[in-house]
Amino acid sequence: MKKIIIVLSALFLITLSISLLFFRHQKFSYSGVVEAIEINIAPKITDNIVKFHVKEGDKVTKDQILLELDGKDIMAAYNYAQTEFDRTAKIYKRNATSKENYDTKRYKYDDATIKKDWRVLKSPINGKVLYKYYNEGEMVTIGEKILTLADLKEIDVWVYLPHNKIASININDKVIGYLPEINKNFSGHIYTINDEAEFTPKNVQTRNERERLVYGVKIRFSNDDNLSLKPGMTLEVQF
């Protein structure tokens, strides 16, 4: 009987050792929520919106017109500056005015020409309209976001790692992300590693629930041609 107990104990210890060795070397998946690389569209003047050319969910291309502002004031300023410059340029050729006056009128005309284009807002990227915050006819102020665009060709995922794991990774290290819903892997690289630890966010998976302090790591992934990775999805990441 003692021999049987000894043999069973030995088998148990061997099985336990193998299991511990297996799980120690098994890669652990950290999960993170997909975030779009967002760009806010805001005006450089305070004015009324007269027309939207896009709506939420629309795909847009670089330099595509997104919306138009009223622009009456800046157009009036432009027309006045153009008239003044044209008149000054003519009399300057006849030496009937100073170089200083000519340069002043030229500066005001160039400035008005730049501001004239501020009434039309264009897309700086190829992407998608995520959010629209105003309607036609409403007034917006300088710097206030009217639209939010996203370039979904690349997306970001934040994961949170313990101190002992941070020591083994570096910026630009290659990382694989897995999307269970379509059983597909995505290639990415480590984009940012936070310098300071923080308390584990409640919605974050870690190897050990008792790990209270973790470091945020931002990983940038390349999306596929179908743009399968969308904001709000959960991506599993292996290190």
Per DSSP, 203 falls in state T
Read off the pLDDT of residues 174-203 as tens digits, 9 standing for 90 and up.
999 999 999 999 999 999 999 888 887 755
Asked whether residue 223 carries a pLDDT value surpassing 60, the answer given is: yes
Rounded to whole angstroms, how far apart are CA atoms 195 and 190? Answer: 14
The model's confidence at residue 167, banded by pLDDT at 50, 70 and 90, is confident
56 shares its domain with 97: yes
**Domain span at 179:** 27-37+153-238
Total number of domains in the chain: 2
Read off the pLDDT of residues 106-131 as tens digits, 9 standing for 90 and up.
999 999 999 999 999 999 999 999 99
In a domain, 94, yes or no: yes
Assign residue 44 a region: left if phi > 0, alpha if psi is -120 to 50, beta otherwise? alpha
Q: What pTM value is reported for the model?
A: 0.68
List the single range of 91-100, 188-197, 200-209 with lowest mean pLDDT.
200-209
From the CB of residue 75, how many other CB atoms can be counted at a distance below 10 Å?
Answer: 14
The secondary structure of 143-164 as a DSSP string is: T---EEEEEEEEEEEEEEE-HH
More reliable by pLDDT, 166 or 60:
60
In a domain, 170, yes or no: yes
112 shares its domain with 49: yes
The secondary structure of 15-64 as a DSSP string is: HHHHHHHHHHHS--EEEEEEEEEEEEE--SS-EEEEEES--TT-EE-TT-
pLDDT, the chain, mean: 86
174 shares its domain with 110: no
